[in-house]
Chain A
Amino acid sequence: MTAGACHELRLEIDSRLECVTPLGLCLHTLARQLGFDDMQAYQIQTCCVEALNNAIIHAYAGEPGHLVSVRWHTQANELLVEIEDCGRAMTVPPCEHEPDPEAESGRGWWIMRQWMDSAEYCDLGERHYVQLRRSIGEA
């Protein structure tokens, strides 16, 4: 783990898709500071962007004016990222299957599960979050 890197951070954006890109860039930089190489940081950024997009598009139905928060933290040799919303809860479990290459949607969870060590959805009633885990040891 890289000394001087940020190990605990909370970031918030409004539920607008145009807010996701700058936040994704920020998360890429944070991942690089933890010692992940550029490709690994790109993968972490992509997975976080997928979870953020899901919160905005599905939980908030694309409606601006709601909060999406990211909790970025490390424990032991693991990065944990929690993307939280207070919108509509996911009612159908995320698909475990590889998406059809011709599909127009439904790839987000597959990407998260392939590129992170784990990607889980947690429903706490009024709020819900996606928890992404990735070992820092491999960086």
Chain B
Amino acid sequence: MDDLQLQDYPQARVIRLNLGRLTASSAAKVLTRVLTAGAGAPALIIDLSAVEFMDSTAIGELVVLTRRLREAKRPYCLAELRPPLMSLARLMRLERALAFCDSVQSALTRFEQPPTQG
């Protein structure tokens, strides 16, 4: 199975990371591939439900990835972090810097909404 699984919806492309671990040894390469795989999509939903472990280097690479997405004005969401990883994200107050969603479905719903006027 490929470690990146893509599924397109009208409002977004879901990229599922089929990796148990996102760590210093792999994160930079994997997330560069995520960026490439998301090219041309209206929005990106990065499904992290399969990721059981992440270290701080991988978090740093996620910050880099999301910064690039913001600079490209590409909406994104990190979806379905497992509870231990969400606790790590909260410890780092990452919810201030990164966009999280509880589920892929809720992220799809979020991106369905038309932009607000004004």
Contacts and interface: CB of A to CB of B under 8 A. Distances in A.
Interface in B5-28: 21, 23-25
Contacts of B63: 101-104
Please tell me the size bucket of the interface on B. 20 to 34
**Main DSSP-derived SS at the B contact region:** helix
Nearest to B21: A21
Contacts, number: 68
A111 interface: yes
A17 B56 contact: no
Contacts of B91: 110-111, 114-115
A111 B93 contact: no
Contacts of B84: 38-39, 42
A45 B97 contact: no
A11 to B, nearest CB: 18
Given A104-B64, A110-B91, 8 more contacts: A18-B25, A38-B84, A45-B53, A46-B53, A49-B23, A49-B55, A105-B56, A108-B56
Interface of B: 21, 23-25, 53, 55-57, 59-61, 63-64, 67, 83-84, 87-88, 91-94, 96-98
